Amino acid sequence: MITDFLDLGLSNEILNAVAELGFEKPTPVQGTIIPQLLAENDDIVCLAQTGTGKTAAFGLPILEYLDQENKETQVLVLSPTRELCRQITQDLQNYAKYLKRIHIVSLYGGAAITGQMKSLKDGAQIIVATPGRLLDIIKRKAADISNINTLVLDEADEMLDMGFKDELDAILESAPEDRRTLLFSATLPKEVEAIARNYMKDPKIVTVGTRNAGAENVEHYYYMVKEEDRYAALKRIADYNPDIYGIIFCRTREETQKIATALQKDGYDADALHGDLSQAQRDNVMSRLKRRALHLLVATDVAARGIDVSGLTHVINYNLPQEIELYTHRSGRTGRADRKGISIAIINQREKGKIKRIEQVIKKEFTRLPIPTAREICEKQLLHLINGINAAEVSTDIDEFLPLINEQWDSIPKEELVKKMLSYEFNRFFDYYRKAKDINIQEKPKKDTDSRKKGERKERKLSRSEKDSKNFVLEECEKGFKWVKINLGYKHNISPRTIVDIARECGANKSDVGRIEITNDCLYVAIKKDLAKKIASQIDGGTLRKYKLTAEVLK
Ligand code: AMP
């Protein structure tokens, strides 16, 4: 692996642009991939995530061997979301700053297609696109990928996860055979392997740290509260961290909007990012976040995919993600560029098992923290205010107003004045926290007191599966959905992804499938009301691996 940009074999134009961006040395993925891409012509599967510097890893060599005189499309980069598309395009434009005749166009859904088709008129040597929109534009004969020499599949696992399989197949089949294909993915599920097998020529597999570059710097904490105290816990966490600059992850668009609105009402610089917003609204939110005019972004996983904002201090899981792998994506938004990052999960008592399973996946331990008390929060906020006042530069502009100020305040003793000023800033907190109760859950010691009372001498040890399934309480199903109970659980090695796949095979779309709760013995999947019966009857009687499936719609 090369550790100096000067040794990578890049031209001065590109090196200058990279230096201007403040990149001092190549990241591991860059040091490994760039020399290979420049020297050889092999297809490559690279296991790397957002945050590892992979855009420059493929972007710099691509720009290096682009024919600037040729206006045809030579390179196609496919990415799962519009945000990532725009980000890659912006990054490539930055790297190409000193290359004169390079035209890069991005094509993604959610924006007018006519404008995008127009932007292709003058030729686009590089197209960065989401699969669906690109196919649409190819069908309208406004884009031509028949002469590309390089095809990049960025975040391939996400693209497949988002249901772009058919679009990808169509695009991969219509691209010229002698192209080079580079596939980037955080994980290597069998669907991604199948793409590599079917559409790539003997690809080299390069693994450069499967975790985010910053994952080592992230500390993981959880707070345990009753379900009804989740929002109060969020507020306390935010108040206890006066310099917080972070993303709060929710599971659904509705919840995202609800939490963002509540936070705004409660006086926080917060806003929502989810799929129901228009492109202009999303751009506005993102630009405010990047300028730090917004301190808390409340987002769904899909909307936040690929977002790269530097310096985020916290990631808060308002609810843990349904799929454990998503936790890594979420927490990877913080702890970048050698900064410390904090990933927090707010959980209820029934979710402790999930924390254990996440620990196994991320290979790090969580620390449980008590929810800060009202007093601790007020003290922290007060100190923050005092430190801010201490650090303030005194402007000479204030001098001319001194007589007026003195006239107003001369008669008030200093101590009284300080109290008044701090109270003025602070009464919001005092008012709120005066009535605040302790919302921590005290864990009970695990004793079977009932059976002791009854004089049962032999305490039967419950197996893990009995315990979990016994303690499990199914919540009310989300609006518009119905719980479908299926007879397989963790002990049958079932993951949420398997369930989504089964539901899909039975004709459900991703949006038809809601929450999934898995216990050891069985699982519950929320399916859109009007489809629940049909899907359950299709699952019922089928088999998965060696297991016979039963499925029923719950009342
Ligand atoms: P990516 O994984 O491509 O999304 O990149 C993550 C972030 O790291 C982006 O903000 C890049 O601008 C930044 N970055 C990429 N390469 C380097 C480098 N060699 N040194 C410092 N920052 C970098």
Which domains does the chain show, CATH number per domain?
Answer: 5-207 (3.40.50.300), 218-373 (3.40.50.300), 375-433 (no CATH), 481-553 (3.30.70.330)
Residue 489 contacts residue 523 (beta carbons within 8 Å) = yes
Residue of higher predicted confidence among 317 and 436: 317
Tokens 């605040």: give the residue: 436
Strand partners, 485: 524, 552
Closest C-alpha to ligand 1, atom 13 = 53
Query: Whose CA is closest to atom 1 on ligand 1?
Result: 53
Q: Please tell me if the CB atom of residue 54 comes closer than 6 angstroms to any atom of ligand 1.
A: yes
Q: Percentage of the chain surpassing pLDDT 90?
A: 45
8 Å CB contact between 277 and 285: yes
Angstrom distance (rounded) from CA 173 to CA 470: 51
Among protein residues, the one with the nearest Cα to ligand 1's atom 19 is: 26
Give which of 28, 35, 75, 18 is closest to 51, Cα–Cα: 28
pLDDT tens-place string over residues 510-533: 788 888 888 878 888 999 999 999
362-418, pLDDT tens digit by residue?
888 889 899 998 888 888 888 888 888 888 888 888 899 999 999 989 999 999 998
Residue 338 has a pLDDT of: 57
CA triplet 484, 485, 491: central angle to 5 degrees? 140
HEC profile for 367-424? EECCCCCHHHHHHHHHHHHHHHHHHCCCCHHHHHHHHHHHHHHCCCCHHHHHHHHHHH
Q: How confident is the model at residue 171 (pLDDT cuts 50, 70, 90)?
A: very high
Q: Whose CA is nearest to atom 20 of ligand 1?
A: 23
Which tens digits make up the pLDDT trace of 265-317? 998 999 999 888 888 888 899 989 988 999 999 999 888 876 778 788 999 99
Average pLDDT, the chain: 86
Mutation test of ligand 1: which of 6, 21, 182, 307 has the most ligand atoms closer than 8 Å to its C-beta?
21
Confidence grade of residue 214 (pLDDT, cut at 50, 70, 90):
very low
**146 Cα–ligand 1 center, Å:** 31
Cβ proximity of 333 and 304 under 8 Å? yes
- 48 within 8 A of 54, measured Cβ to Cβ: yes
Residue 518 pairs in a beta bridge with: 523
The pLDDT value recorded for residue 209 is 56
Strands (E), 137-179: 150-153
Spell out the residues 6+ positions from residue 31 whose beta carbon is closer than 8 angstroms to its own.
1, 2, 3, 8, 25
Rounded Cα distance between 35 and 103, Å, is 24
Indicate whether 61 pLDDT > 80: yes
Q: What is the pLDDT of residue 438?
A: 83
Q: Taking 50 as the threshold, does the pLDDT of residue 190 lie above it?
A: yes
pLDDT digits (tens, 9 = 90+) for 443-492: 655 444 444 444 333 333 333 334 456 667 788 888 899 999 999 887 77
Instruction: Report residue 196's pLDDT band, with 50, 70 and 90 as the boundaries.
Output: very high
User: What distance in angstroms lies between residue 51's CA and the mean position of ligand 1's atoms?
Assistant: 6
Ligand 1 closest atom vs CA 55: 3
From first CA to last CA, the distance across the chain in angstroms is 59
The pLDDT > 70 percentage for the chain reads 92
pTM of the entire predicted model? 0.51
Two structure tokens written together for 340: 């410390």
C-alpha dist (Å) from residue 115 to 78, 106, 137, 282, 499: 19, 11, 11, 19, 39
CA dihedral 131, 246, 263, 366 (to 10 degrees): 100
Position 55 scores a pLDDT of 93
Does ligand 1 lie within 6 Å of residue 27's CB atom? yes
Centre of ligand 1 to C-alpha 153, Å, is 18
Q: What is the pLDDT of residue 13?
A: 95
* Mutation probe of ligand 1 site: the residue of 1, 4, 20, 23 with most atoms within 8 A of C-beta: 23
pLDDT tens profile 110-122: 889 999 999 999 8
Residue 336: predicted pLDDT: 66
pLDDT-wise least confident of 112-116, 213-217, 230-234, 501-505: 213-217
- Token reading at 70: 């040729």
* Ligand 1 close to Cβ of residue 26 (< 6 A): yes
Q: Is the distance from the beta carbon of residue 295 to the nearest atom of ligand 1 less than 6 Å?
A: no
Query: DSSP secondary-structure letter at 479?
Result: T
What pLDDT, on a 0 to 100 scale, did the predictor assign at position 468?
Answer: 58
Query: 519 C-alpha to center of ligand 1: Å?
Result: 40
